């Protein structure tokens, strides 16, 4: 049977592809500390479940293709709260930020077009870009330079006449990079100069640990017609399984094209939209508490990593991930070895090997992404397991 070139060019998700090995390790009686996936253990606010219990319709009907007004209005209100005016027509509800990314790229990219993305990046960017036939043009960042990419000369070095957009996550997955307002302005000016779209993936907006104000590319009115925001309740409210996100833009033509894809997939889950609308009503101090918890976790992981000889990393300013270069020959081999051959008192640990976070072959081989989504005590144990694992792996490899 024939398979498309697109399917063959895409890779499995590095966050999910080792799952069968974890299942086997668990069947063998091991406890696996999961730091491989951005699925937080923070409780979803009760408002979500209350809204589900309060649903008394006789039929779970299709929702409107652009999204249910109760959720669209809640999102517009949330943006008003951070000083950005969006009308309901600027918002399309999607099945997670993932579908918003897919639809946005489908609307603006043709085969052969180029998309600038700082690497390491969120690996699904590559998959969605490849589905359109576009080519990812990476801006390479390194742990040694703190994964810094917001420099005009760097951006200029990758732009060509085929470039259509710049895609970034801010705060960033997997590096935790947080752009300053000046850097965002520079990127907006760069996009204007080269007539590019800005796909601003801001699903981690609330997770910044330096006391800075919440920021969004939606603030720059002069580029409003080229900004596409990607947003989601998954991380914001620890509601990953709700699968509710949105694509936001003031560009009417873009939204008209995007609506065609929303109509083709009919609608987003009705009950999850209702329950997600209720999430936007959480108390004002909700984010303060969650932010403090993640900051504690970030500090725990970072200080533990610094104590492991040979590890190179930089302190992430936001999101809930850290990239780290390990003193091992191959992080993927090391990951499999940890699951199949290693244990300490019945425990082992799992993360995401780094190479799939890069478009450039050969990069990221000894890097890993750690998602600091467990409680502090579990994180400490997981980091100790990582240190023990590195030592034992390198000993048996000599
Ligand atoms: C940077 C980034 N964007 C988008 C997503 C998509 O999330 P969801 O589809 O759950 O909204 C994720 C999920 O991990 C992510 O890390």
Q: Which domains does the chain have, with CATH numbers?
A: 5-43+286-393 (3.90.1150.10), 46-279 (3.40.640.10)
pLDDT of residue 286: 94
Ligand 1 contacts CB of residue 122 (under 6 A): yes
* 36 close to ligand 1 (CB < 6 Angstrom): no
Give the pLDDT score at 12: 78
Task: Compute the distance between CA of residue 51 and CA of residue 306 in angstroms, rounded to an integer.
Answer: 44
Residues 305, 323 contacting (CB under 8 angstroms): no
| Predicted pLDDT at 145 | 83
Tokens standing for 103? 């639809």
Residue 275 has a pLDDT of 98
Are the CB atoms for 101 and 132 separated by under 8 Å? no
The two tokens of residue 163 are 């470039």
* 22-26, 227-231, 271-275: range with lowest mean pLDDT: 22-26
Is the per-residue pLDDT at 15 higher than 80? no
Whole-number Å distance, alpha carbon 298 to ligand 1 midpoint, is 19
Q: What are the C-alpha distances in Å from 304 to residues 154, 179, 312, 313, 328? A: 32, 25, 12, 11, 17
Give the pLDDT of residue 6.
87
199, 297, 368 from 100: Cα distances, Å: 10, 29, 27
Nearest-10 Cα torsion for 18, 305, 240, 118: -90
pLDDT of residue 101 exceeding 80, the answer is: yes
Question: Which of 14, 98, 239 has the most ligand 1 atoms within 8 A of CB, as the residue to mutate?
Answer: 98
Q: Is the pLDDT of residue 14 over 80?
A: no
Q: Does position 307 have pLDDT exceeding 80, yes or no?
A: yes
Q: Which two tokens stand for residue 302?
A: 């970072």
pLDDT at 38: 81
- pLDDT value at 123 more than 80: yes
Task: Give the N- to C-terminal CA distance of the chain in Å, as an integer.
Answer: 44
pLDDT tens digit string along 175-197? 999 999 999 999 999 999 999 99
345 vs 155: CA distance, rounded Å: 48
Backbone φ, ψ for residue 4 (5° rounding): -65, 155
> How far apart are alpha carbons 153 and 372 in whole angstroms?
33
Question: Can you tell me the distance from the alpha carbon of 361 to that of 104, in angstroms, rounded to the nearest whole number?
Answer: 26
CA distances from 237 to 42, 94, 280, 346, 379 (A): 9, 16, 9, 33, 21
| Beta strands 197-201 and 163-169, pairing class | parallel
In the structure, what pLDDT confidence band is assigned to residue 337 with cuts at 50, 70 and 90?
Answer: very high
Q: Which helix (H) or strand (E) holds 337?
A: helix 331-341
Q: Ligand 1, residues 96, 125, 272: which to mutate, most atoms within 8 A of Cβ?
A: 96
CA-closest residue to ligand 1 atom 13: 38
**90 Cβ inside 6 Å of ligand 1:** no
Burial 267-302 (b: 16+ CB within 10 A, else e): bbbbebbbbbbbbbebeeebbeebbebbbebbebbb
- State the maximum Cα–Cα separation within the chain, in Å, rounded to a whole number: 66
At residue 398, the pLDDT reads 75
**Per-residue pLDDT, 118:** 97
pLDDT at 345 over 80: yes
Asked if the model's pLDDT at residue 116 lies above 80, the reply is yes
Instruction: Report whether residue 201 contacts ligand 1, using a CB cutoff of 6 Å.
Output: yes
* The two three-digit tokens of residue 196, written as one number: 């590019």
When pLDDT is averaged across residues 367-385 and rounded to a whole number, the result is 95
Average pLDDT over residues 221-243: 97
Atom of ligand 1 nearest to the CA of 240: 10
Q: Which helix (H) or strand (E) holds 324?
A: strand 321-325
Provide the pLDDT for residue 37.
Answer: 85
Return the number of other C-beta atoms located less than 10 Å from residue 6's C-beta: 13
Neighbouring-strand partners of residue 115: 136, 165
Helix (H, G, I), strand (E, B) or coil at 147: coil
Helix (H, G, I), strand (E, B) or coil at 316: coil
**Could you give the dihedral angle defined by the CA atoms of residues 184, 96, 174 and 157, in that order, rounded to the nearest 10 degrees?**
-50
220 backbone dihedrals φ, ψ, rounded to 5°: -90, 95
390 C-alpha to ligand 1 centroid (Å): 29
pLDDT of residue 13: 76
Quote the DSSP letter at residue 208: B
Gap from CA of 14 to ligand 1 centroid (Å): 14
Check residue 260 and give its pLDDT: 98
Q: Which atom of ligand 1 is nearest to the CA of 95?
A: 9
Q: Residue 50: what pLDDT?
A: 97
Q: Is 245 in the pocket of ligand 1 (CB under 6 A)?
A: yes
Given a cut of 80, is residue 387 above it in pLDDT?
yes
pLDDT tier for residue 297 given thresholds of 50, 70 and 90? very high
Give the mean model confidence (pLDDT) for residues 266-280.
Answer: 98
- For residue 32, the cross-strand partners are 348
Atom number in ligand 1 closest to CA 97: 11
Weakest-pLDDT range from 146-150, 173-177, 335-339: 146-150
CA of 237 to the centre of ligand 1 (A): 13
The mean of the pLDDT values for the chain is 95
Q: How far apart are CA 89 and CA 86, in angstroms?
A: 8
Residue 39 has pLDDT above 90, yes or no: no
**Number of other CB atoms surrounding residue 55 within 10 Å:** 11
């Amino acid at each position: 049977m024939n398979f498309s070139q697109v399917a063959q060019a895409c890779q499995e998700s590095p966050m999910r592809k080792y799952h069968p090995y974890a299942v086997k390790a668990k069947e063998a009686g091991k406890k696996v500390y999961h730091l491989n996936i951005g699925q937080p253990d923070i409780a979803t606010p009760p408002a979500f479940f209350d809204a589900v219990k309060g649903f008394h319709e006789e039929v779970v009907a299709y929702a409107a293709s652009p999204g249910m007004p109760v959720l669209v209005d809640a999102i517009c209100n949330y943006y008003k709260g951070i000083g950005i005016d969006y009308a309901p027509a600027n918002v399309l509800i999607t099945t997670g930020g993932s579908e918003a990314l897919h639809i946005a790229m489908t609307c603006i990219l043709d085969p052969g077009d180029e998309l600038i993305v700082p690497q390491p990046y969120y690996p699904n960017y590559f998959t969605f870009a490849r589905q359109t036939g576009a080519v990812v043009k990476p801006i390479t960042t390194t742990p040694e330079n703190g994964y810094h990419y917001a420099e005009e000369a760097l951006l200029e070095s990758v732009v060509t006449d085929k470039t259509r957009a710049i895609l970034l996550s801010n705060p960033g997955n997997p590096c935790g990079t947080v752009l300053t307002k000046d850097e965002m302005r520079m990127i907006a000016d760069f996009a204007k100069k080269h007539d590019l779209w800005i796909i601003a993936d801001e699903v981690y907006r609330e997770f910044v640990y330096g006391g800075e104000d919440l920021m969004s590319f939606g603030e720059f009115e002069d580029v409003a017609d080229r900004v596409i925001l990607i947003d989601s309740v998954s991380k914001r409210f620890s509601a990953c399984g709700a699968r509710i996100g949105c694509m936001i833009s003031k560009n009417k033509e873009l939204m008209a094209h995007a609506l065609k894809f929303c109509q083709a997939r009919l609608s987003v889950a009705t009950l999850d939209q209702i329950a997600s609308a209720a999430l936007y009503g959480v108390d004002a101090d909700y984010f303060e508490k969650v932010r403090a918890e993640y900051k504690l976790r970030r500090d725990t992981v970072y200080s533990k990593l610094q104590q492991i000889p040979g590890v190179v990393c930089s302190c992430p300013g936001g999101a809930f991930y850290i990239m780290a270069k390990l003193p091992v020959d191959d992080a993927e081999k090391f990951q499999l070895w940890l699951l199949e051959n290693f244990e300490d008192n019945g425990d082992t640990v799992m993360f995401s090997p780094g190479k799939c976070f890069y478009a450039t072959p050969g990069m990221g081989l000894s890097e890993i992404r750690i998602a600091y989504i467990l409680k502090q005590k579990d994180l400490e144990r997981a980091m100790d397991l990582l240190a023990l694992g590195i030592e034992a792996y390198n000993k048996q490899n000599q």
